[in-house]
Each structure stands twice: as C-alpha cells, then as structure tokens.
Chain A
Amino acid sequence: MEYIPQILFTIILIGGIGFFAQNVKKLSRNIKLGKDVKINDNKKQRWTNMAKIALGQTKMVVRPIAGFLHIIVYVGFVIINIEVLEIVIDGVFGTHRVGLSVLPVSLYGFLIGTFEILAVLVLASVIIFWIRRNIIKLKRFLSAEMTGWPKSDGNIILYFEVVLMCLFLIMNATDTSFQNLDSGNVVSQFIAPLFSGLSKGTLHFIEQSAWWLHIVGILTFLNYLYYSKHLHILLAFPNTYYGKLTPKGQFKNLEAVTNEVKLMMDPDADPFATPAVGVEESEPEKFGASDVTDLNWVQLLNSYTCTECGRCTSECPANQTGKKLSPRKIMMDTRDRLVEVGKNIDANKGTFEPDGKQLLGDYISTEELWACTSCNACVQACPVSIDPLSIIMDMRQYLVMEQSAAPSDLNNMMGNIENNGAPWPFNQQDRLNWTNES
C-alpha cells in the first residue's frame, strides 16, 4: 500500500509527458507540411542569434517595462523549475526533500530561498501583466484579433503562474520540518503563521496537497502549451535559430521564375519547340501562396512561435493609420489555418481531405495584403524573429501571378514597367531629358 502514491505519481508523470510528446509530434508534422527550405548556413551566427534573442531576450527590452517584467517571469520560471527535479525524484522514490540528503543544508537553503524570492517577484510581475491587459487595457492587447480565445489564453497563462507560485510558497510554508530547519524559508516563514492554528495532520495534508497540485499543475501547463500562444517558450529557440540572416530588405528570388525567365531570354531557346515528352504533363509550379502548405516550414514555425504580443502590429504603419492589416493577425491566421489543416489530417487517417477553405480569403483578405508597405517594421519589432512580411509577399505573388488579381492601379504600373521600363508612362528614350532641363 505504501507504494501507491509513488505508482500514482509515476503514472501521472509518464502520462503528462507522454501526452505532451504526442502533441509535439503533431506540431512537428504540421510544420513539415510547409515547403522544404534548406537552412544549414552560418551556424555560428545562428547560435549566436539564438543565445542573444531567445536566451538573452535582447529584443524584449526595446520596451523597457514589459521587457524587464518579462525577464523576471522568464528567469524566475526557469530557475524555480529546478525545484521540479526534486519533486520528481521525491515523487518517484517516495523520499521527502531529497535535496537535503545530498546537499549541505546551507546550500539547499540558499537554493530554496532563491526560488522563494523569485516566486514572489514572478507573482508581482504577473499581477502587473494582468493589470496591463485587463485594467489599463493597453492598446496592443485590444485589437480585433485579440478577442475570444486569444484574449482568454493570455489571461489563463497568468492565472496558471499565480496558482503555481502560490502552491510552491504554501507547500514550503506548511512543511513543518522545512520551517524548523529555518534555512531558505525567506518568504514562506511569513506565510507559515497563517496556518499556525492548524493541527500537525492538517498541515501535513495541506503541504501534501500543495505538493501534488504543484506537480499536476506543471504537467497541465506543459500540455496547455500546445493549445496556446505560450508555445513560444519552447519554439522561440528554434525560431530565432532559423530566423532570417540576410538584410531585411532582401526578398528571396523565386527559383521557378528564374528558370522560366532564363529560358525566355535565351536566344538559343526555340519558343515554338514542342516541349520534351513528359514536361507537358508535369504540373507547373504554383507561384506564391494561397494556403499554408504553399508557405515554407520556417514560416509555419513562425506562426506557432508567435506569442501574440502585438509589438509588430503596434509598429505597423498601415495598422496605425486604421487599415485592416495587422501583422500579428497574419501570423495568428496562418497558425489557425495550419491547426485546422492538421485536425483535418488527423480526422481523415493521415490524409488531407479538401475542405473548400484556404488561408487566402477565408482567413486573410486581399484588403489586408494590399495595405502593406513592406516597411519591415513588424519584422524589426518581433522579439522572436518572426517575419510576417514574407507571408504577405508570398500571398501577393499568388494574387498577381496566379490570379492576375492586383488592384488596377498596380496593373497600370506593371504595364508601364513592361512596356517602357518605368512605373510611369514615360518613354525609356527620354531617360536623359533631365540633363537638358533647367
């Protein structure tokens, strides 16, 4: 009988991690639905970026208040989770505070004391975050795309952290042997008096409950990630690694187009030649993107990494002047559509059944796409190296090259370039006229 808690614990632990692993598998399958791009260049630069941007949070502090609070929560969360190691060992082997039997009391006390202080700092930061979202109502948390689930999601995460931090402190406060040790209970010693009237048995019960709820809470949180913008705590790392290294203004040249253009410009190519056997049947490559599977896997990884912070949107000139475009929404739409496609595949035994929907039109409107000035403010602002602009451009390519659906003004402009080599109706022969004008 005495092993029952240990067995129970092990089952919960394996179940929680197993379920999470399942979801990670789905996640990676969904990301791989994107087109393949090989990224194995500049490894050193990429690791540096990851260390700086994801680990070092360098882009968060561009906005000092949010950045500072975020660092507290992030550092606190990571460090306090060292405690989980002890909880897991205790849970599986039925020990109690195993750390005490391997570490000197003073070191153990120092560690737990640090965790306790961090827990309080995290609590305070999380409360300020909640106030910013719900009472001060910062503009960037209120856009059209931030209603319903995304709004609740943002708050749920905060509640999670509050509960986890409180459980950790209560667990320490009601642990009489730990309190008697009087080492490391820097914060919990002030909480302990709240429970002073209780019997030893009740205290032990509360301590055990807090302990169990804490670990169950952490496992729940782990599994919640998959359904939440909070996935960024994991994906920020690969995402910053695979982030764009070339100058922001450099848009990739479509290789399929290059091949066609070369063929057209090649004086030796016979335009009337019958295509080689088999070429006719082969499906011509689709230009641009109308759905998530036309995007590349990095763009899809981007969409899962997006933490919906809205820094991109708040810097977007189109959004600032009341246009419908919001780069955050571009990322959220891409992710939501990808999740939908993933569910479709799950429901149809591994193959995608056409559902009559696509990213273009059903999620992202042409009005949004055409409002972009390609200014790169969103790319610059993103704290986790997401590139919403590349998705906008891929979708424009589809509109123009596959559907000839550019706004008429742009068609005129392109017609001019085609006919006279300038976006306006001027003759190429007049290009030097300015030299003779006063």
Chain B
Amino acid sequence: MSNEMNVPTMASLFAEGKQPEVLFWVGCAGSFDDRAKKITKAFVKILNKANVSFAVLGTEESCTGDPAKRAGNEFLFQMQAVTNIEVLNAYEVKKVVTACPHCFNTLKNEYPGLGGTYDVVHHTQFLKQLLEEGRITMEGGKFKGKRITFHDPCYLGRANDVYEAPRDLIRKLDAELVEMKSCKTRGLCCGAGGAQMFKESEPGNKDVNIERTEQALEIKPDIIAAGCPFCNTMMTDGVKNKEKEASIAVMDIAELIASADDL
C-alpha cells in the first residue's frame, strides 16, 4: 500500500519552486510510534485522494517542544520552537495541519510569541472543511448504525475549544454518536498529557486511562474514536486491559474516514 502514498517534502517542492496549500506537521508520535503511524498514513491517503497539495518537513521536522514545556523545561521548549520556526519561516509556511492536538496547540498558541505565526488547524477541522468544500465525500456504509463515542483530547477540547469538528465527521458516517458521561468541556483526560506519557504515574488507586476506559465501556460503544495519537495509545491500552479489544476498536477520526472509503 505504501507505494500508493504520495508524500512530498517541503524541500523537494521548494526546489521545484512550488508552495503547497498546506504543511502537514506529522509530529513525533505520527513519525515514530507504530500505532500513530497508521493514523498518519490514513490521513495522507485522504489528502491524496482529495488531491490536496501538501508537504511534510520530513527530516527537517523536530519535536515542537510540547512535552519539554509541560515538564517544566522552558529552555528546551524554546530551543525547539526557535529551531522549528526558522525552518517553517524559511519555507514561508502559511497553513499547517496536524493530527496531534499537542503539536496543534503548541504551534497555534505558543509559537506566535516566538516569531512563528501560522494558520494552524487540527486534522479533524481540516477534514471537515474538505467535506464542506466537497473535496471529499463520506459515506457511512461500514459504520452505519455503529455506536461510536468520541474521546475529547484535552489539548483539542478544553485547551482550544474544538468540540464539534470531530463529532460532525462521526455523524457524517451515519454512525450513532454516543457520549460518555463526561464529555466535551468536562471530558476526562486519558492520562497522557503534561508529559505523563513519558513517565510512571504517581501512586494512586487506578491509572487515569483505565478510569476513562471504564467510562467509555459504560455506554457500550463499538468504536472509541480519538483525535490524538497519545489518547489513542492510552485508550487502546485501557481496552486491552479490560480484555475488550475483540469487540471494541479504538480508531482515529482519520482512520474512520479512510476506512469508510476503503483507502
């Protein structure tokens, strides 16, 4: 399938004197994490199908610095930010799309103060826009009548007030959108944010992702939809812990759309 993907880099387009419509910021998880790479590919396939002119930075991309900043290392964060901004500005990037809410938040909110101002959107917002512009079509088919719940990523929802784009997309799949008892502004964290992904959790009586998975299981979904590679990992682990992986899938919104389209 890999040869079906067309993933131009900024460097190659620049050499041809071309400027893509949008830069796809892949992010560290999207580049390296096995689960997240599937999301990246699903998103790219949609972009290819819709003939979106995009490019990635590839080897010129580096961590946005989000985990460093949330861990308290402002110094490292700003070093990363300034380095990335230099690259982005050199390519005269205007619009950025990313499938990671952490990258999204950092690029959108924290880079402007350091000299990097771009129009940054989350991939669910971008996909919704493609849909509205008629550049992609969606037919539920496969997902018709399936119970799908959306787990709000903290850095997309509360942090940036994006609640509806992913939900609108799920509805378009003719699926039955079901909500967990805490959702949207009151959505429970998956437990990965604030650099928790990279460390053991403090002593307590439960892991956060288990608590969140239990909330999801309460409403008996067929699919737990996510919009963040870290949430995805956390929820996947939670579902496995509950031995429900045979009946409940954890999927990114991009994967839902790509697989509805048999991409």
**Does B53 interact with chain A (Cβ within 8 Å)?**
no
Q: CB-defined interface of A356-397 with B at 8 Å, one 1/0 digit per residue?
A: 000000000001001111111101110000000000010111
Indicate if the CB atoms of B202 and A393 lie closer than 8 Å. Answer: no
A322 vs B211: C-alpha distance when bound (angstroms): 11
Knowing A253-B114, A414-B68 touch, does A261 contact B28 (C-beta < 8 A)?
Answer: no
**Does A196 interact with chain B (Cβ within 8 Å)?**
no
A250 vs B113: C-alpha distance when bound (angstroms): 11
Knowing A265-B82, A428-B59 touch, does A434 contact B73 (C-beta < 8 A)?
Answer: no
| Residue with the greatest number of chain B CB neighbours at <10 A, chosen from A318, A370, A423, A428 | A423
**Does B155 interact with chain A (Cβ within 8 Å)?**
yes
Indicate if the CB atoms of B158 and A370 lie closer than 8 Å. Answer: no
Q: CB-defined interface of B143-182 with A at 8 Å, one 1/0 digit per residue?
A: 0000000000011001111000000000000000000001
Q: Of A260, A321, A396, A430, which contacts B204 at CB under 8 A?
A: A321
Give the contacts of A245-293 with B (CB-CB under 8 A): 246-251, 253-254, 257-258, 260-262, 264-265, 287-288
Main secondary structure of the interface of A (DSSP, over half): helix
Indicate if the CB atoms of B189 and A261 lie closer than 8 Å. Answer: no
Q: Of B9, B58, B108, B191, which contacts A317 at CB under 8 A?
A: B191
**Does A18 interact with chain B (Cβ within 8 Å)?**
no
A253 vs B69: C-alpha distance when bound (angstroms): 9
Indicate if the CB atoms of B211 and A321 lie closer than 8 Å. Answer: yes
Indicate if the CB atoms of A413 and B74 lie closer than 8 Å. Answer: no
| Residue with the greatest number of chain B CB neighbours at <10 A, chosen from A265, A435, A436 | A435
Indicate if the CB atoms of A320 and B28 lie closer than 8 Å. Answer: no
A257 vs B65: C-alpha distance when bound (angstroms): 14
Q: Of A317, A421, A431, A436, which contacts B211 at CB under 8 A?
A: A317
**Does B192 interact with chain A (Cβ within 8 Å)?**
yes
| Residue with the greatest number of chain A CB neighbours at <10 A, chosen from B73, B76, B78 | B73
Indicate if the CB atoms of A426 and B32 lie closer than 8 Å. Answer: yes
Indicate if the CB atoms of A315 and B186 lie closer than 8 Å. Answer: yes
A424 vs B233: C-alpha distance when bound (angstroms): 15
Indicate if the CB atoms of B188 and A422 lie closer than 8 Å. Answer: no
Q: CB-defined interface of B52-91 with A at 8 Å, one 1/0 digit per residue?
A: 0000101101110101111111111011101100000000
Knowing A247-B109, A431-B59 touch, does A423 contact B72 (C-beta < 8 A)?
Answer: no
Stretch at the interface among A207-215, A223-231, A297-305, A400-408: A400-408
Indicate if the CB atoms of B71 and A414 lie closer than 8 Å. Answer: yes
Indicate if the CB atoms of A323 and B204 lie closer than 8 Å. Answer: yes
Q: CB-defined interface of B1-39 with A at 8 Å, one 1/0 digit per residue?
A: 110010101000000000000000010101111000100
Knowing A261-B79, A287-B74 touch, does A410 contact B193 (C-beta < 8 A)?
Answer: no
A246 vs B212: C-alpha distance when bound (angstroms): 28
Indicate if the CB atoms of A249 and B62 lie closer than 8 Å. Answer: no
A422 vs B32: C-alpha distance when bound (angstroms): 9
Indicate if the CB atoms of B186 and A377 lie closer than 8 Å. Answer: yes
Knowing A321-B204, A325-B202, A436-B2 touch, does A421 contact B80 (C-beta < 8 A)?
Answer: yes
A393 vs B186: C-alpha distance when bound (angstroms): 21
Indicate if the CB atoms of A380 and B186 lie closer than 8 Å. Answer: yes
Q: CB-defined interface of B176-209 with A at 8 Å, one 1/0 digit per residue?
A: 0000001001101101111111111111111110
CB distance from A438 to the nearest CB of B (A): 5
**Does B105 interact with chain A (Cβ within 8 Å)?**
yes
Chain B residues with Cβ under 8 A from A376's Cβ? 154, 158-159
Chain A residues with Cβ under 8 A from B74's Cβ? 253-254, 257, 287, 397, 401
Chain B residues with Cβ under 8 A from A377's Cβ? 154, 158, 186, 188-189
Knowing A315-B186, A373-B189, A414-B68 touch, does A261 contact B62 (C-beta < 8 A)?
Answer: no
**Does A409 interact with chain B (Cβ within 8 Å)?**
yes
Q: How many A-B residue pairs have CB under 8 A?
A: 227
Give the contacts of B32-52 with A (CB-CB under 8 A): 32-33, 37, 40-41
Indicate if the CB atoms of A432 and B193 lie closer than 8 Å. Answer: no
**Does A437 interact with chain B (Cβ within 8 Å)?**
yes
Q: Of A261, A288, A370, A401, which contacts B199 at CB under 8 A?
A: A370
Q: CB-defined interface of B203-237 with A at 8 Å, one 1/0 digit per residue?
A: 11111101110000000000000000000000000
Indicate if the CB atoms of A317 and B161 lie closer than 8 Å. Answer: no
Chain B residues with Cβ under 8 A from A407's Cβ? 199-200
A320 vs B154: C-alpha distance when bound (angstroms): 16
Indicate if the CB atoms of B110 and A253 lie closer than 8 Å. Answer: yes
CB distance from A64 to the nearest CB of B (A): 14
Q: Of B67, B108, B207, B211, which contacts A423 at CB under 8 A?
A: B67
Knowing A409-B198, A409-B199, A413-B71 touch, does A261 contact B2 (C-beta < 8 A)?
Answer: no
Knowing A373-B189, A437-B37 touch, does A321 contact B208 (C-beta < 8 A)?
Answer: yes
Indicate if the CB atoms of B205 and A321 lie closer than 8 Å. Answer: yes
Chain A residues with Cβ under 8 A from B198's Cβ? 409-410, 412-413, 423
Indicate if the CB atoms of A317 and B82 lie closer than 8 Å. Answer: no
Indicate if the CB atoms of A417 and B65 lie closer than 8 Å. Answer: yes
A371 vs B210: C-alpha distance when bound (angstroms): 16
Knowing A250-B109, A410-B71 touch, does A373 contact B204 (C-beta < 8 A)?
Answer: no
Chain A residues with Cβ under 8 A from B194's Cβ? 372-375
A152 vs B105: C-alpha distance when bound (angstroms): 42
Indicate if the CB atoms of A435 and B68 lie closer than 8 Å. Answer: no
**Does A418 interact with chain B (Cβ within 8 Å)?**
yes
A256 vs B206: C-alpha distance when bound (angstroms): 39
15 examples of A-B residue contacts, CB within 8 angstroms: A250-B109, A315-B182, A315-B186, A318-B204, A322-B205, A323-B202, A371-B201, A376-B154, A380-B158, A397-B73, A410-B198, A421-B80, A423-B28, A431-B32, A438-B1
Chain B: residues with CB nearer than 8 A to chain A?
1-2, 5, 7, 9, 26, 28, 30-33, 37, 40-41, 56, 58-59, 61-63, 65, 67-76, 78-80, 82-83, 105, 108-110, 113-114, 154-155, 158-161, 182, 185-186, 188-189, 191-208, 210-212
Which 7 pairs across A and B sit closest by C-beta, in order of nearness? A249-B159, A396-B72, A374-B194, A322-B205, A421-B62, A322-B204, A250-B109
